[in-house]
Amino acid sequence: MSNLLGDNYRLMIFGQSHSPMIGGVIEGVPAGVAPDMDFIRAFMARRAPGGALSTARKEADIPEIVSGLNEWGRTCGAPLAFLIKNADHHSRDYADLRDVPRPGHADYTAAIKFGGENDIRGGGQFSGRLTAPLCFAGALAMQLLREKGVRVRARVYSVAGIPDAPLDMARPDLDAIHDGALPCVDPTAAARMAAAIEAARADGDSVGGVVECFATGVPAGLGDPMFDGVENRLARALFGIPAVRGVELGLGFEAANLRGSRHNDAFRMDGDRVVTDTNRHGGALGGITSGMPVVVRVAFKPTPSVALAQNSISLARHEDVPLRIHGRHDPCVVPRAVPVVEGVVACVVYDLMSGDR
Amino acid sequence: MSNLLGDNYRLMIFGQSHSPMIGGVIEGVPAGVAPDMDFIRAFMARRAPGGALSTARKEADIPEIVSGLNEWGRTCGAPLAFLIKNADHHSRDYADLRDVPRPGHADYTAAIKFGGENDIRGGGQFSGRLTAPLCFAGALAMQLLREKGVRVRARVYSVAGIPDAPLDMARPDLDAIHDGALPCVDPTAAARMAAAIEAARADGDSVGGVVECFATGVPAGLGDPMFDGVENRLARALFGIPAVRGVELGLGFEAANLRGSRHNDAFRMDGDRVVTDTNRHGGALGGITSGMPVVVRVAFKPTPSVALAQNSISLARHEDVPLRIHGRHDPCVVPRAVPVVEGVVACVVYDLMSGDR
Amino acid sequence: MSNLLGDNYRLMIFGQSHSPMIGGVIEGVPAGVAPDMDFIRAFMARRAPGGALSTARKEADIPEIVSGLNEWGRTCGAPLAFLIKNADHHSRDYADLRDVPRPGHADYTAAIKFGGENDIRGGGQFSGRLTAPLCFAGALAMQLLREKGVRVRARVYSVAGIPDAPLDMARPDLDAIHDGALPCVDPTAAARMAAAIEAARADGDSVGGVVECFATGVPAGLGDPMFDGVENRLARALFGIPAVRGVELGLGFEAANLRGSRHNDAFRMDGDRVVTDTNRHGGALGGITSGMPVVVRVAFKPTPSVALAQNSISLARHEDVPLRIHGRHDPCVVPRAVPVVEGVVACVVYDLMSGDR
Amino acid sequence: MSNLLGDNYRLMIFGQSHSPMIGGVIEGVPAGVAPDMDFIRAFMARRAPGGALSTARKEADIPEIVSGLNEWGRTCGAPLAFLIKNADHHSRDYADLRDVPRPGHADYTAAIKFGGENDIRGGGQFSGRLTAPLCFAGALAMQLLREKGVRVRARVYSVAGIPDAPLDMARPDLDAIHDGALPCVDPTAAARMAAAIEAARADGDSVGGVVECFATGVPAGLGDPMFDGVENRLARALFGIPAVRGVELGLGFEAANLRGSRHNDAFRMDGDRVVTDTNRHGGALGGITSGMPVVVRVAFKPTPSVALAQNSISLARHEDVPLRIHGRHDPCVVPRAVPVVEGVVACVVYDLMSGDR
């Protein structure tokens, strides 16, 4: 029972990598909104496969809205359902994986959970392909947030340990993030990251990285103490993206190394607004937004599907066997994860804002 | 709407630092269980204030069960409600904070959210005191997990950047964790951490740290893909502990720096069990447990209440003012957070196990 | 997992008939509200035992708020927890019922569900006593609704088939409902009902009845289509009151006998308000309020605890045995159910109103 | 936020009468189940329009499963999404209704709630057409229940006040229910009902009726006290069917007229099973199933779309106007509601059974 996200802007995702369709159902879009399909398609294109650094799978990823609109093409209060066709799937690539689970993948755990009936083709419901509906919902949330003055933007924070240049968490210059396969502030860093990804691909290997996301313009006072704070909601949602291994806000794990006098962000007045000059708290105190940018960082592991030989087991024969993975895989999920993280953060922030009274 | 945790073992927490009582209501305890009150009290004592490294506030923290038991003192299927009295509170210490919010605290964000009606005394509902009911629920979950062969144990992973010795994530020797104010594997590390805490206290300052928690004996196949996986549930719950800034599983953020060939954990047969020799995945693949220990790390920021002078603002006068915080505060929340993290992890794991069919 | 009601005004109930305490936790009360304890106590007194037509059990039912208030006695945004002591319980009266379940009670079904560990004393969690916390939450909701111009009032619609006089569903004169043990419009009907109850009691028997509840001043546009409409929410909540066997809105079951031309309520303008002259729809169309009074009727079965001899079984010996019930029981739950229905309706309506944006 | 039903067998419905598609997403189907598409299509055909007593709208209603199946056509643990195309819609019929809401419909309440953006075509999301996905989910639940020995069967209990012959609630002969447009026990009653429907149609009018549904083979011990009992869940779900005005279990409202000695069902042993000879309690005591058949009755109002002249208002001009409704409407929803009620009851019962541990 797990494909549902949000309280007020509520998304249910469905589909597998090779099912006829993937898609989602969204409740809670205000009535009277005309989805900006150009924007949504452009946003989804940022995630779609096909870039220089990604898998060779080609998917047009044209979403079709099949319910939720009135005769004027505006939302009518009914759930908005959208579909994306799965076109270019090579299911035969995956047949052997039923017996020999790939290390670092959900093949084994899903086989145990679902008694061997899990859809192994292309990773089934665990595939990164399921982030396409997340991007649809995220793009729509972004459209809705735009009208409220909220902007959500992510960048590649690091790949294979290569960091991008720092961004001021209190007043981030989001326009300094370059577009392109690796959205970074520092083009040199982006080039080094791209080289590291290419080197890994050449070696039949993969690399991981970190995505950092900013939401600016979020008003103070959103989020609920204890288990439904901004942090809890972001973390629950972001761990829904495949390959995520860690989530932190503000300074995150680095905060653990500091003294309080160095970590606290002093308040000051800026006209009649309460602000902080630093934003080590990442825009959330006690689960509630402070009015400073929400800053979250998400760690992605290296793609587990590597071409190099690995050790695994035969589930049927209960013995150790070597494994070589074929098929098409991203050598690094981070570039395509950037819009996905933006989309998920947008869903969470819009959910919070639409719940606020 | 935020004080509720869990689907099958469901906990609602209530109370503020200085309200007459704090407590909780638990649904989903199987009928026929006699709560092991000695165990629960001993567990809660690990969190209670009074240790050498903690605040001077004294609280007996004796929980009283007021519903949910039958005439034999066993659970009867009705919600189990428990109460803990707040005794030693000095509410006058906090009066000035209404006007001048403490940096790094929820004073400001709560004032915005609740229109100045938030309970400022002792931090109100944002106080670490609310972790006492979490520990009650966690101890009861641990009692229930014991019978299923699951053990949950945490340790101080680092304080102020001082690390404890490593523990094998695949086969952790949990008995190597010493009891005491700073549960560590390496007593020398613990002593250095204690010194760092004392030094911070002497300076009127505070320090942060990281807690690492292991759950061993968790069967494979628990957790749901996408938004209700082990990772999502742990993250949502752990961010409910005050002062948490980051949550990671397995190698966490370090995974982002590795190549896939170095990060993947190869499967092998151990008799008829499927195991991995390493556990960089932290016991969860695709949201589902693998049968290897669940390993989670939680970053705690330094206690924001420091005695040193800080800058803040007057909410009434809309001007910058200096602030000096009085009252009794832990110079480091990490020692007392160890059982809290254990308790929360126990709640989440037991929730997952009792939902499994 | 069942003691939770509401989305925005959310109530968790706990306790058993003979547990040390019963009570509840409420989330979603706006910050800054001073609970009107005089009103709450007076409301709860209407439900409390002790009236001429009720059980001999005496309970003071003084609720104590133990969390959720700030230093000024106003709600602070934290969950409001309240407790009610159970004082006058004669637990020995119920010992035999463990073996011989009472017909019409939950003794048998609870024994199956909870493996014989259910609290049998006084009916445990199935006792009508659990409606006391419902009344607390309902009274608080009523206080909050008052400020929004909403009034909730119920009356005894019938007892043992004896009907009260009709009330216009479109423009009910709620002040025509007399206070007293049997709140009716027609004192003669009330007297006949009282006589029927007394006759049943004299015979060692019991009677059922119907409560009708009105909520006036509810704005149009509340409620959500499909499964979270006004009707769905009211029905789910009202079936939580012990002994309820049916719930209907507007004309309810009688509507099934009519033609559409007789059942439809024609719209007309009343100044610039849209109204209907009749209210057969009971204030809800398609799950959404129409602005006309919400009218709901709730059927209560006769108290199953009758003094007359009945047939039952021994769970231990698996054989048929005769049963005579001792203890103190209301010969009719309807009089005391009137405020309970009001309270539940108030909770649902306030939940809807506080969720509306 | 309202199109979601169930905890363990969880259904989200989407679509409007004239949207390109309607459908649903189901979580919680056990892995490894091959949906019996012949059964599902046959079940859905019972609801589909086209019968002698129904609307002239023609819809093939062929459901297509687009996710949730593995390569063998069996459920894989991922959400099962299904689509149904809307083909035969005459949207121009509804254009005038934007201004002049139909009495007894949600036109007015939806216009208020959604600011005039509601989809008015064919009733939008309030259309009976949305019961097609309910039937899909119900048929699948029935397939799953069959394997557990549970049977769900409904009949027309009355139409326009004309009753079918009684059925023993304790041991109902479900095979005595005739198939056909009006599933009844007594063909004479069915014929009289059909005549009443035809007479209403001839008069440009409509009639209501009651559906009674039985679930046999349901084990004792299912359901949760207070707000998640069998009764609460059934009532919440059944009020989701358009035109429902009342729900009752067992004797329902008639119980309110009886004495306890006449209403209680005495327990007795039947071999080693505990049974009752009567089933006035309708299979549920205190929210928990007793092992006796679950019996529920659902009141449907007469179709509000009648051809006769009615009074309404112009929302634009704020004045009273006469209204004549054109378009194609069932003169009585009850015949087609029979499988819908079965489907909803099956969803609820299977949800309960799959949550039981």
The per-residue pLDDT for range B195-254, each reduced to its tens digit, is 999 999 999 999 999 999 999 999 999 999 999 999 999 999 999 999 999 999 999 999
- For residue B329, the model assigns a pLDDT of 80
Percent of chain B with pLDDT over 90: 88
C264 touches chain D (CB under 8 A): yes
Cα–Cα distance for residue pair A227/A237, rounded to 1 Å: 13
Quick check: D207 and D331 in contact, CB under 8 A? yes
Could D76 and A15 be called an inter-chain contact, meaning their C-beta atoms sit closer than 8 Å?
A: no
Angle at CA A137, nearest 5°, toward A134 and A140? 145
Q: Using an 8 Å Cβ cutoff, are A190 and A164 in contact? A: yes
- Give contacts of D117 with chain A, Cβ < 8 Å: 31-32, 70, 74-77
pTM of the predicted model as reported, rounded to 2 decimal places: 0.96
% of chain C surpassing 70 pLDDT: 94
pLDDT at C50: 66
Higher pLDDT, B329 or A140: A140
Q: Average pLDDT of C273-289?
A: 98
- D327: pLDDT strictly greater than 60: yes
Nearest-CB residue to C117 (from B8, B74, B119): B74
Residue A93, pLDDT above cutoff 70: no
Q: Which of C153, C170, C151, C167 is nearest to C216 (CA)?
A: C151
Total Cβ atoms within 10 A of residue D72: 11
Q: Is the pLDDT of residue D92 over 80?
A: no
* A244-249 and B294-300 strand pairing: unpaired
Note the pLDDT of residue B48.
Answer: 82
Q: How far is B180 from chain C (nearest CA, A)?
A: 33
CB-based contact (8 Å) between A202 and chain B? no
D10 with A20: Cβ contact below 8 A: no
pLDDT attached to residue C302: 98
How far is C-alpha A336 from the geometric centre of its chain's CA atoms? 9
Reported confidence tier of residue A87, pLDDT bands at 50, 70, 90 = confident
3-class DSSP state for residue D176?
helix
| Mean pLDDT across chain D | 94
Which residues of D are less than 8 Å from C257 in CB distance? 158, 160-161, 208
Which residue in chain C has the smallest CA separation from D303? C260
**Is the Cβ–Cβ distance between C19 and C130 less than 8 Å?**
no
Q: What does DSSP assign to residue D259?
A: B
CB of A14 less than 8 A from some CB of B: no
Percent of chain D with pLDDT over 70: 94
Residues 213-232 of B with CB under 8 A from D: 225
CB within 8 Å of chain C, chain D residues 52-91: none
Q: Which of A2, A276, A282 sits opposite B227 (nearest CB)?
A: A2
Average pLDDT over residues C275-291: 98
Are B354 and D354 within 8 A, CB to CB?
A: no
- Measured between beta carbons, the chain A residues lying within 8 angstroms of D121 are 70-71
* D118·A79 Cβ contact <8 A: no
- Spatial CA neighbour of B70 closest among B107, B43, B39, B32: B32
Closest CA to A198 of A54, A305, A48, A299: A54
Instruction: Write the pLDDT tens digit of every residue in D210-269.
Output: 999 999 999 999 999 999 999 999 999 999 999 999 999 999 999 999 999 999 999 999
Looking at residue C235, its pLDDT comes to 98
- For residue range C66-119, list pLDDT tens digits in order: 999 999 999 999 999 999 999 866 656 566 779 999 999 999 999 999 999 999
Contact B313, B101 (CB under 8 A): yes
Closest alpha carbon within chain B to A334: B256
pLDDT at position A178 is 95
Question: In C178-307, where does DSSP find H-type helix?
Answer: 187-202, 230-238, 260-263
Query: Across the interface, do B227 and A4 touch by the CB < 8 Å criterion?
Result: yes
Do residues C238 and C298 lie in contact, with contact meaning Cβ atoms separated by under 8 Å? Answer: yes
Which residues of A are less than 8 Å from D74 in CB distance? 117
What is the distance in angstroms between the Cα of D230 and the nearest Cα belonging to chain A? Answer: 21
pLDDT classification of B55: cutoffs 50, 70, 90: low
Mean of all residue pLDDT scores within chain C = 94
CB atoms closer than 10 angstroms to residue B341: 28
Give CA D99 to chain center in angstroms: 30
Closest CA in chain C for residue D163: C257
* C354 touches A: beta carbon within 8 Å: yes
ipTM greater than 0.90 = yes
pLDDT category of residue D357 using cuts at 50, 70 and 90:
very low
pLDDT band, residue A12 (cuts 50/70/90): very high
| C123 to chain B, closest Cα gap in Å | 11
Q: Are C103 and B27 in contact (CB under 8 A)?
A: no
Q: Are C21 and B79 within 8 A, CB to CB?
A: no
Chain C contact for A286, CB < 8 A?
Answer: no
**Which residues on C lie below 8 Å from D209 (Cβ)?**
256
pLDDT tens per residue across span C298-331: 999 999 999 999 999 999 999 999 999 876 678 9
**pLDDT tens, residue by residue, B62-88:** 999 999 999 999 999 999 999 999 986
* Closest CA in chain B for residue C2: B27
Chain B residues with CB under 8 Å of A206 CB are 259-261
Query: Considering only CA atoms, which of C191, D52, B27, B334 is closest in space to residue A257?
Result: B334
Q: Is A15–D81 a contact, with Cβ atoms under 8 angstroms apart? A: yes
The mean predicted confidence, pLDDT, of chain B is: 94
Do B77 and D225 count as a contact with CB atoms less than 8 A apart? yes
* Interface membership of D305 toward A (CB under 8 Å): no
pLDDT tens by residue, C21-59: 999 999 999 999 999 999 999 999 998 876 666 666 666
CB contact under 8 A, A3 and D119: no
Task: State the DSSP string of C182-213.
Answer: S--S-HHHHHHHHHHHHHHHHTT--B-EEEEE
